[in-house]
Amino acid sequence: MSHSDLLPCLLYKLNENQLALEAAIMELTNWVEANGKAEITDNVRGALDTLDKNEEFIKLMLAVMMAPE
């Protein structure tokens, strides 16, 4: 397997990690919000929105890179 063949796998794993971190952060945000610290969660949700917006582009690029030629 060449180094160029490894790039799509690496990007896939990085995206998978990003999604896992997003889920964990969302759980913590929900807990903080439920315990009366809603002002903190507004900033966190803003950052999570950025992850959501970028997720679609990342998925599209991964699909293109992993498609057979």
pLDDT band at 23 (very low <50, low <70, confident <90, very high): very high
pLDDT average, residue stretch 34-55: 83
What are the structure tokens assigned to 48, written together? 């999570």
User: pTM here?
Assistant: 0.66
pLDDT band at 32 (very low <50, low <70, confident <90, very high): confident
C-alpha 10/C-alpha 53 separation (Å) is 21
Any idea what the Cα angle at residue 60 is, between residues 58 and 63, rounded to 5°? 110
Question: How many beta carbons lie within 10 A of that of residue 32, not counting itself?
Answer: 15
The full set of domain ranges for the chain reads 3-66
Rounded to an integer, what is the distance from CA 15 to the centroid of its chain?
Answer: 6
